[in-house]
Chains A and B, each alone.
Chain A
Amino acid sequence: MVQKRIWNWYNVVLVLVLVAAVILIILQNTVITGNASKVLSSITGYATEGNTTSNVTITSYLSIAFCQNLSEGIWFGEIASLPVTNQNGTHNADGTSGGTTYCLNVSEDSNTNVDFCIKASGDMETMGGDAIGLGNETYNNATSTDANTPDWGTEVALTTSYVKSGYNVASDGTGVNYYRFWLDVPGAQPAGTYNNTVSFKGVNTGVSC
């Protein structure tokens, strides 16, 4: 009889532990984790103040396009005698008044002026692995063009990271960024066809590349 009672109490305790465990699991995953406080915070009682939200969405948009000749690539033609300094890009001066026809346009369907960034994929290389160092490929740019602009005397070497080239090019339909490109080829350069890729990026004016 005593044995029977002890077992009964033992069972009751186990049931209580089981129930307590279930209750604690429920509490842990609802009230204790803070979800209940969200419910309580919505009860405001007699409100004497009112709030409203104020909201605005600012939208930016910009669009650019290559001029035809730049979209076809930057070519330096056939070079027969080395070394060569400042070999001109084939469209460096074939525009009206001797201007360049390498350019990028900013659409008037843009609501911000545009800064341009430029980079190259790496050295100019042949399929066989010969290379012309990237420092030999240079450019200059301006927002207008004629026989003297962009300036022939100021060259900037291309790099493998984007750097800012054109600044604050207008988005009123007149904004154009003109480029001239040059290539230096050392005397001992092996014969071959050398290529790389030059990338241009338009960003919101004032934003880094």
Chain B
Amino acid sequence: MLMNKNRRFIFAALFLVVVVTLPMMSAGVGIKWSQESSLVPENTKVCMTYNVYNPWPEDSYATISLSQDLMQIVDYVGSDVVFVPSGTSSSEALPIKFCFKTPKVYKKDCWIGNSLLCKQDCTEEMKTYEGEVLVQEAASSEGAQSAQGSATQMAVSAPLRIRVQCVKTGRNFTAIYALIGIIAAVLLVINLAKRKREGKEKESKNKKKPSKKK
């Protein structure tokens, strides 16, 4: 009898704890990452994956974004809102992929203009961009602005450092070789055509000569 009473008391206490604590927490957001730096050749498209999760008792919506420092080298970041169900643990975290293209940041030594007969010595220091990947809870209190005060927003972030690698290249003479080749081919075609025409003219002259003798 006493055991039953104790059990009831324990269950009642547990129920009370759950009822009291659950409404105290709103939806949350989590980020999981396994890379904080990346070495990427210049002018190259790269994709990275981060994971979002939500171990809290309410469903949430998350968006991924990059800090301003990294936005200068990023072409596109998926800005879709991702639904993260309640109770999604870090081991079940949902992947969010984003891609970016590194800019051309190193100087080239070109003989003609900015793109012909160029070589790249890579004597400059390696350029590094530092910032962070932000996962923000999309649902916030921003809509509820009828009272005087501040709406609130929440985010979690992971640091990210991108080092842009210079790719060393020798001077490329392809354009010159191609130009010489094209000129030679054109001259050859003209010459052959000329010779063919001359041959025909000679043939016709030869044909005409015997008729005169007759």
A interface residues (Cβ-Cβ under 8 A, vs B): 7, 10-11, 14-15, 17-18, 21-22, 24-25, 28-29, 32-34, 57-68, 70-79, 89, 101, 104-105, 107-111, 120, 124, 137, 181, 183, 193-204, 207
Of the candidates A11, A63, A64, A181, the one whose C-beta lies within 8 Å of that of B90 is A63
A193 and B53: CB pair below 8 A? no
CB of B73 within 8 Å of the partner chain: no
Nearest B residue to A127 via CB reads B145
Q: Is the CB of B90 within 8 A of A109?
A: yes
B204 in contact (CB, < 8 A)? no
Which secondary structure dominates where chain A touches chain B?
mixed
Q: Are A105 and B134 in contact (CB under 8 A)?
A: no
From A22, A24, A61, A197, residue with most partner B Cβ within 10 Å? A61
Q: How far is the CB of B11 from the nearest CB of chain A, in Å?
A: 22
The residue on B at minimum CB distance from A63 is B30
Asked if residues A65 and B149 are in contact (CB atoms below 8 Å), the reply is: no
Closest residue of chain A to B149 (Cβ to Cβ) is: A75
Which residue of A32, A62, A66, A203 has the most chain B CB atoms within 10 A of its CB atom?
A66
**Considering the chains assembled together, what is the distance between the CA atoms of A124 and B49 in angstroms?**
37
Q: Does B6 contact A (CB under 8 A)?
A: no
> Please, what's the 1-or-0 string for B17-49, where 1 marks a CB less than 8 Å from any CB in chain A?
000000111111111111000000000000000
The smallest beta-carbon distance between A88 and chain B, in angstroms, is 11
Contacts of B148 in A (CB 8 A): 75-79, 124, 193-195
A60 to B158, CA, bound (A): 9
A40 to B189, CA, bound (A): 40
Contact of A104 with B154 at beta-carbon distance under 8 Å, contacts A73-B147, A76-B149 already known: yes
Q: Are B156 and A29 in contact (CB under 8 A)?
A: no
Instruction: Please determine whether A74 and B150 come into contact, CB atoms closer than 8 angstroms.
Output: yes
- B32 near A65 with CB under 8 A, answer no
Is there contact, CB below 8 Å, between B191 and A14?
A: yes
A21-B169 in contact (CB<8A): no
Whether A61 pairs with B188 at a CB distance below 8 angstroms is no
Contact B24 A68 (CB under 8 A): yes
Query: How many whole Å from A74's CB to the nearest CB in chain B?
Result: 4
Q: List the 7 shortest-distance A-B pairs measured between CB atoms, nearest first.
A: A65-B28, A63-B30, A21-B181, A71-B26, A75-B149, A61-B32, A73-B141
In the complex, B173 has a CB within 8 A of chain A = yes
B150 in complex: contacting residue of A61, A79, A196, CB < 8 Å: A196
Which residues of the partner chain B approach A24 to less than 8 Å between Cβ atoms? 173, 177
Kindly name the residue among A15, A18, A105 whose own CB sees the greatest number of chain B CB atoms within 10 A: A18
Q: How far is the CA of A118 from the CA of B101 in the complex (A)?
A: 31
Interchain CB contact under 8 A, B55 and A107: yes
Residues of B within 8 A of A110 (CB): 30, 90
**Nearest chain B CB to A81 CB, angstrom units:** 14
B16 contacts partner chain A, Cβ-Cβ < 8 Å: no
CB of B157 within 8 A of CB of A201, answer: yes
How far, in angstroms, from A108 to B169 measured CA to CA in the complex? 51
Can you list 6 contacts pairing A with B, beta carbon distance less than 8 Å? A14-B185, A17-B184, A65-B26, A74-B149, A183-B149, A195-B149
Asked if B152 CB lies within 8 Å of chain A CBs, one says yes
Do A64 and B191 form a contact, CB below 8 Å, given A33-B169, A195-B148? no
Q: Name A67's contact: one of B25, B132, B181 (CB within 8 Å).
A: B25
